[in-house]
Amino acid sequence: MSVASPPHTWPRRHLLNIDGMTRAEVEACLDLAVEMREWRERGERPEPLRNETVGLAFYEASTRTRVSFELAARALGAIVIDLSLAGSSVAKGESLIDTLRTLRRTGVTICVLRHASSGAPHLAARETGLRIVNAGDGTHAHPTQALLDALTLRDALGALDGRKVAIVGDIAHSRVARSNLHLLPMLGAQVWLAGPPAFVRGFDDWPGVHVATIEETLDGADAVMTLRLQLERDAGAGVPSLREYTWRWGLTSERMLLARPDAPVLHPGPTNEGVEITAELAASGRSLIGRQVENGVPVRMAVLALVAGAA
Amino acid sequence: MTTFGTLADPPATLVLLGVRTIDPTDGTDLVRDLAVRDGRIVDPRDVPEGTRRIEGSNLVVAPGFCDLHAHLREPGGEVAETVESGARAAAHGGFTTLCAMPNTEPPLDERARVAAVAGRASAARVRVVASATAGRAGERLTDYAELAADGVVGVSDDGAAIADPRLARGALAYLAELGLPLIEHAEDPRLAAGTLMRAGPTATRLGLAAWPPSAELTMIERDVALAAETGGWVHFTHLSTAGGLDVVRRAKQRGLRVTCDVTPHHLALTDAWVAGHRGFAWEAEGEPDYERAYDGATRVNPPLPSREDALALLAGLADGSIDAIATDHAPHPPERKLVEYSEAAPGMIGLETALSLGLAAVEAGCLGLGRLVEALSSGPAGLIREARGLAVGEVADLVVFDQAARWQLEADALASRSANTPLIGMELPGVVRLTVAGGRVTYEA
């Protein structure tokens, strides 16, 4: 395959999280994603991963992430094994490591891992010999989501240096937020957070991040990202009710008047419309939610190619 | 060559020449010869011709160490440890007494189960802490007077506190006249539920459910109030927070029957170890190493403390607010540790590294050697009414170690059946050369 501007270095066998990556690596990955997107638009089908077997090991329910990884791997020519883990030996009590080592012996070379336990991809990377791509682990990280968010923001705003990005909602339980908190400041953005106190506590210590009221956070923001409220994670202790959450932190067109005119709105999905964002705003012209989904495949193509050493 | 003995072996006769003897029971710290004849400490001139002599100008002799808190996993967990393997690990670490914790399967909550653990000749004296409640279910007290008559040294539902305050109050009231402590794993079960590591910047970054220090603090405050009301003796084990230590200090100042211990890992290790950092609390803060992050070996209850709290605990040990070092030796097989962090069994082994971590703190100037020896030997031994001392006439119960020698911690260097400690691979100060328990050589290298 021919890449116009190959990344300077991609020394990693894995993509576990954004931290530890350099800005140059991130930008090379985003540039490669743009190139991949153009191939797809032109209908080109180079197959740099034709010698790879990608195993999709999703220990947690997922639609958009799993589907976009599968499409990305197929678009690059890889063999794709989608594990229906609920019905496999996992149900018989086999350990994560044993399952993944078995995959490796059957010929899988790259494992896309989604797991409910923070740090599971680190364990897999240390112990299985597979190349691991983290597709979301517990409340820790979701690096490909952050990369596609960054690409979507870059498409809409250009360079992010000096831009104010607001993130609203349940930061504490969000792996998407954590990965964005590494990535957006790295790209020069100022990140402001707002949400119920229990859901933003501790994040004021995060380098380059401000925690403030919803009004201060939205004030003059160049882009606003809201997160899925996962009430089931913290029954009753973080926020009294959905109604109260929506009243105080829900994203509405009126509240968006605080932000820069036409500042785009992002959401990693799936949305609880009417809770963290109104249906009207999610469907409006300033919503980039659809663009986020569209960027999922090329970003994951770029990540798979880089991890495979094929870019 | 290393050899192990047991308390059923013939008593020892030997002479240690030119050793530094530290005896907290009389406050002496001397360079002298120390002789043992037929298991008793004697005048060095009173040993027979031809007695074995050990040259010891680089060696320290201290009273035998006493561990108030060890999990020997019998019955039910023999894949991880047995009484015999745990006792050998103890002897290797310089311990002559072990207090076996009762959270076994089934728990040590009645006299026959206690006798099965306490009655065996091994490489250390094995005492038993009995369950505080039947089946560790937290609903009904065990038969304390009968268990006390059988020699248990305390009662505990370790792994958890007695959650029901009314039952905890009853336990302390009933124990008061027996002179035994309620050994509390002070942790509010609701505040601690589902948590995986100490709250703080590292937990925030790693996305691991955070254990709030209030979980320990509120339970200690409750138990101090109950001890004050009942006159019962509460002993807080594995203290892990500066806030909890402050409450214990104030309770002691009020004259309440409150004592406590701290583990070596809560003195030396910090929550940054969960993120892969490998430096001691007193060292400069280093960079985390995310390649090593989420190692199940770092999961322990209570979780590894913040750096500030580890240093506060060290200060509390140095000033005597903390009565003893206890290991909370908690062996687990690899299949319980080489798993997702949320699935990893809490606990790490400690018998064979306690002295080394203490000596690392001494090297760093955070603790005096005499105080370290006291906190490992006569301090805890006094709490369970065991004698310690190096004076002529006493039964020889001692450890001989080389303070300056270093050793590489690898799994095959351990006598324990388990190797679950994040210290694996590190070089540590302090090598035990000889352990004598009850007059018998239990370990020699």
ipTM of this complex: 0.94
DSSP per position, A162-173: T-EEEEES--TT
Spatial neighbors of B205 by CB under 8 A, at least 6 apart, are: A178, A206, B275
Spatial neighbors of B412 by CB under 8 A, at least 6 apart, are: none
Pairing mode, strands B65-70 and B28-37: unpaired
**Domain B64-386 sits in CATH 3.40.50.720:** no
Give the global pTM.
0.95
How do residues A181-192 score in pLDDT, each as one tens digit? 999 999 999 999
The single-letter code of the amino acid at A101 is: R
Query: What whole-number distance in Å separates Cα of residue B418 and Cα of residue B62?
Result: 27
* Burial (Cβ within 10 Å: 0-12, 13-18, ≥19) of residue B19: buried
**Shared-domain flag, residues A151 and A286:** yes
Give me the number of domains chain A comprises.
2
CA dihedral A10, A11, A16, A18 (to 10 degrees): -50
Nearest to A288 by CA among A129, A201, A130, A165: A165
Mean pLDDT of B199-214: 97
Task: Calculate how close chain B gets to A138, using CA atoms only, in Å.
Answer: 7
Contacts of B209 in chain A (CB under 8 A): 139
Query: What whole-number distance in Å separates Cα of residue B190 and Cα of residue B331?
Result: 26
Nearest to B139 by CA among B159, B162, B108: B162
Task: Calculate how close chain A gets to B257, using CA atoms only, in Å.
Answer: 36
B355: DSSP letter: H
**Shared-domain flag, residues A300 and A283:** no
How do residues B113-159 score in pLDDT, each as one tens digit? 999 999 788 999 999 999 999 999 999 999 999 999 999 999 999 99
Pairing mode, strands B28-37 and B40-42: antiparallel
Whether B143 is catalytic: no
pLDDT value at residue A2: 38
Task: Look up the domain containing A91 and give its range.
Answer: 23-142+296-307
pLDDT at A152 over 90: yes
| A247 within domain boundaries | yes
Q: What is the CATH number of the domain that holds A195?
A: 3.40.50.1370
**Shared-domain flag, residues A121 and A157:** no
**Shared-domain flag, residues A284 and A301:** no
Task: Calculate how close chain A gets to B213, using CA atoms only, in Å.
Answer: 14
Query: What whole-number distance in Å separates Cα of residue B264 and Cα of residue B95?
Result: 14
Contacts of A59 in chain B (CB under 8 A): none
Nearest to B259 by CA among B276, B245, B271, B270: B245
**Shared-domain flag, residues A137 and A225:** no
Query: What whole-number distance in Å separates Cα of residue A239 and Cα of residue B254?
Result: 41
**Shared-domain flag, residues A86 and A130:** yes
| A1 within domain boundaries | no
How do residues B5-56 score in pLDDT, each as one tens digit? 999 999 999 999 999 999 999 999 999 999 999 999 999 999 999 999 999 9
**Shared-domain flag, residues A134 and A264:** no
* A176: contact with B, CB 8 A cutoff: no
Distance between start and end Cα atoms, chain A: 8
pLDDT at A5 over 50: no
Residues B338, A97: C-beta atoms closer than 8 Å: yes
**Shared-domain flag, residues A78 and A205:** no
pLDDT at A254 over 50: yes
**Shared-domain flag, residues A284 and A224:** yes
Distance between start and end Cα atoms, chain B: 6
Mean pLDDT of B393-401: 98
Beta bridge partners of A287: A265
Banded model confidence at residue B291, pLDDT cuts 50, 70, 90? confident
pLDDT value at residue A1: 39
- CB B64 within 8 Å of CB B437: yes
Active-site residue, selected from the candidate residues B323, B328, B397, B402: B328
- CB B184 within 8 Å of CB B235: yes
Nearest to A118 among B201, B291, B341 (CB): B341
**Shared-domain flag, residues A149 and A269:** yes
**A198 torsion bin: left (phi>0), alpha (psi -120 to 50), beta (else):** alpha
Banded model confidence at residue A236, pLDDT cuts 50, 70, 90? low
| Half-sphere exposure for B147 (CA within 13 Å, toward CB) | 28
**Shared-domain flag, residues A149 and A240:** yes
- Between residues 212 and 271 of chain A, which touch chain B (CB distance below 8 Å)? none
pLDDT value at residue A255: 97
Mean pLDDT of A37-57: 93
Which DSSP helix (H) or strand (E) runs through A37? helix A23-42
Least confident of A39-43, B321-325, B350-354: A39-43
Q: Provide the token pair at A149.
A: 């968010």
Whether the CA torsion B71, B77, B81, B87 is positive or negative: it is positive
| A214 within domain boundaries | yes
| A79 within domain boundaries | yes
Q: Provide the token pair at A270.
A: 């799936």
Banded model confidence at residue A235, pLDDT cuts 50, 70, 90? low
Provide the mean pLDDT of chain A: 92
